[in-house]
Amino acid sequence: MALYSDKVMDHFMNPRNVGQIENADGIGEVGNARCGDIMKIFLKIDDNGIIEDVKFNTFGCASAIASSSMATEMIKGQPVDKALELTNKAVVEALDGLPAIKIHCSVLAEEAVKAAVKDYYDKNGIEYDPEQFKENSCDHCAV
């Protein structure tokens, strides 16, 4: 059995939405130097609260890049509040699975999206429940 699904390999070899957005409405950066994966998500949000563009820069393994690519595809064109519903489980399912040791990559993708949304809310004075933005620890990455 292959370590990675065809979808993981496709999003790793041909990542979607790579890059930066100048003057992004929201930017989220998450990661842990111990596990080596760092993700940065950029959001451009229109006046109706729809994510009209999303880009990412990820330093990490195939799973991290594929998770970032898939997460951006899943939230592009969606309302901001819908992006907050993105879960790492949904990213894993959309990629047709990840090896157990690489699940943290999908968690980082979820957290990067949430961090970018939080940044957008903060910049625009939009109230939110801080519990929505609690970070997970990356204890499993301990070296």
DSSP state of 35: T
Q: Is 65 left (phi over 0), alpha (psi -120 to 50) or beta?
A: alpha
Distances (CA, A) of 140 to 22, 39, 47, 67: 34, 17, 40, 18
Query: Of 61, 105, 138, 141, which one is the catalytic site residue?
Result: 105
Determine whether 141 is an active site residue. no
Rg for the chain, CA atoms, rounded: 14
Active site residue 61: no
Question: At 98, is the secondary structure helix, strand, or coil?
Answer: coil
Which of 3, 44, 40 is closest to 18 using CA atoms?
A: 40
List residues with catalytic annotation. Answer: 35, 105
